[in-house]
């Protein structure tokens, strides 16, 4: 589970732990990783922290091997980590634009390839990649670089589903919308704008990281969804349309 130190990543990790999964908690900030590990252990599951920068894609294969050795295998990969740039296109530097791809689809690609042999050896596995509803907004202004990186990840997800299904590996994407620490700070700082934003969500509320996103991922990787692969599942309360 990459980017598991807080927010949506932590919510997914906790939901999976509640279903009995042991969790490799990956991220850049050791203190946050340990906090997540303690919460997971409180659910009765095993958790180990692995500090890493997903932008360092050359280090990912060895990291994945270390995780597999620690836990005795890998059944589920969740690519949640992303660190990129937001803003109008003319304000974005090439470096900032490229960073979003390095931590997004490039990192996910490296993790997917590195996890493949471990999953195949166990007879299959599940990959869940996090994308965004910004990919389908009629006006993606200020989200262009973010949406571009996530659109690439969506394509990778579909391709992995097509190529690796024979190995028993499913690959799906989710487009979540949840009250992460960053979004929560924004809603508190700009309550009027936040209320207008909330009104655009048909279900009328911003999702909870564990109950609305994490629980959905737990269902997605569970046996009852075994015939679903290559899909992009919107978890945004109906705000965006994925046609």
Buried b (16+ CB within 10 A) or exposed e, 187-226: beeeeeebeeeeeebeeeebbebbebbbbbbbebbeeebe
Task: Tell me the C-alpha to C-alpha distance, in Å, between residue 3 and each of 135, 143, 156.
Answer: 21, 20, 19
3-state SS class at 85: coil
Q: Which two tokens stand for residue 119?
A: 């999953």
* Active site (annotated) includes residue 146: yes
Which of these is catalytic: 82, 86, 143, 146? Answer: 146
Listed in sequence order, the residues at least 6 apart from 52 whose beta carbon sits closer than 8 Å to its beta carbon are 26, 27, 28, 59, 60, 63
3-state SS class at 91: helix
| Cα three-residue angle 138-104-45, rounded to 5 degrees | 115
CA 172 to chain centre: 11
Q: Which two tokens stand for residue 72?
A: 């005795």
For the chain, the straight-line distance linking the first and the last C-alpha, in angstroms and rounded, comes to 28
Residues carrying an active site annotation: 146
């Amino acid at each position: 589970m990459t980017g598991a130190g807080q927010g949506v990543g932590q919510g997914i990790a906790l939901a999976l732990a509640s279903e009995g999964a042991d969790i490799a908690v990956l991220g850049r900030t050791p203190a946050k990783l340990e906090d997540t590990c303690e919460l997971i252990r409180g659910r009765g599951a095993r958790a180990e922290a692995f500090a890493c920068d997903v932008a360092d894609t050359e280090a990912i294969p060895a990291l994945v091997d270390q995780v597999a050795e620690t836990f005795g295998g890998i059944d589920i990969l969740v690519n949640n980590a992303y660190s990129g740039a937001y803003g109008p296109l003319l304000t974005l530097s090439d470096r900032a634009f490229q960073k979003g791809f390095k931590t997004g689809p490039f990192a996910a690609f490296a993790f997917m390839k590195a996890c493949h042999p471990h999953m195949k050896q166990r007879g299959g596995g599940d990959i869940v990649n996090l994308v965004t509803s910004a990919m389908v907004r009629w006006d993606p202004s200020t989200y262009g670089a973010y949406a571009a990186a996530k659109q690439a990840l969506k394509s990778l997800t579909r391709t992995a589903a097509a190529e690796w299904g024979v190995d028993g590996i499913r690959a799906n994407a989710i487009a979540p919308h949840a009250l992460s620490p960053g979004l929560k700070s924004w809603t508190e700082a700009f309550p009027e704008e936040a209320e207008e934003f909330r009104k655009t969500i048909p279900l009328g509320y911003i999702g909870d990281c564990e109950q609305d996103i994490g629980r959905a991922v737990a269902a997605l990787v569970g046996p009852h969804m075994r015939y679903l692969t290559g899909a992009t599942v919107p978890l945004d309360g109906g705000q965006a349309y994925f046609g």
